[in-house]
């Protein structure tokens, strides 16, 4: 009689075992997170920082000169003005060794060139920014600072 019971018990055990291991197994594990809680973003990484654009460099301060753009202040041979290529003004020949006109002819990153003109004479001078003065017929010409297409120049001491 035990023999007849062994077969049905074995069959039931085998069916139970196949029911546990057979069939569809879900691809995901149920979440243990409370659905009312928000999901936080992952902490930024070093590679995320490289995607952030670098701030642009600030604009340079505008040039400043004691006499601004008042070129009549230069007539007496003593001024500090902001100039561009083509800036011209009159000089008193008595203080400029006979020169009566001044013109800026070039500006580059190194300095500025100028023509001093008078009856029968022309002097071209190029002064480097911050590197001393050029003296034209006794009148010192200094380039204080250059910025893009402008320069601050000083005439006189």
Per-residue pLDDT tens over the stretch 114-151: 999 999 999 999 999 999 899 999 999 999 999 999 99
Residue 57, pLDDT score: 76
Confidence of residue 58 (pLDDT cuts 50, 70, 90): confident
Query: Is there a contact between 145 and 151 (Cβ–Cβ < 8 Å)?
Result: yes
Per-residue pLDDT tens over the stretch 64-109: 999 999 999 999 999 999 999 999 999 999 999 999 999 999 999 9
Residue 75, pLDDT score: 96
Residue 40, pLDDT score: 57
**Average pLDDT estimate for 32-38:** 56
Closest by CA position to 114, among listed 146, 83, 74: 83
Residue 93, pLDDT score: 95
The backbone region for 50, taken as left when phi is positive above 0, alpha when psi lies in -120 to 50, beta otherwise, is alpha
Residue 59, pLDDT score: 84
Torsion of CA 77, 89, 62, 128, to 10 degrees: -60
**Average pLDDT estimate for 6-20:** 45
Domain residues of the chain, as ranges? 71-155
- 0.85 cut: is pTM over it? no
Confidence of residue 43 (pLDDT cuts 50, 70, 90): low
């Amino acid at each position: 009689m035990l023999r007849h019971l062994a077969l049905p018990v074995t069959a039931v055990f085998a069916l139970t075992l196949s029911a546990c291991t057979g069939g569809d197994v879900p691809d995901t594990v149920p979440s243990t997170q409370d659905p009312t809680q928000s999901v936080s973003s992952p902490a930024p990484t070093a590679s995320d920082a490289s995607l952030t654009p670098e701030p642009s460099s600030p604009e340079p301060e505008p040039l400043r000169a004691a006499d601004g753009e008042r070129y009549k202040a230069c007539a007496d041979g003593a001024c500090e003005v902001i100039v561009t290529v083509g800036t011209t003004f009159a000089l008193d020949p008595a203080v400029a060794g006979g020169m009566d006109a001044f013109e800026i002819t070039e500006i580059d990153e190194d300095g500025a060139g100028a023509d001093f003109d008078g009856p029968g004479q022309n002097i071209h001078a190029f002064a480097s920014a911050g590197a001393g003065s050029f003296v034209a017929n006794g009148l010192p010409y200094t380039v204080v600072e250059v910025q893009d297409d402008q320069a601050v120049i000083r005439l006189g001491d």
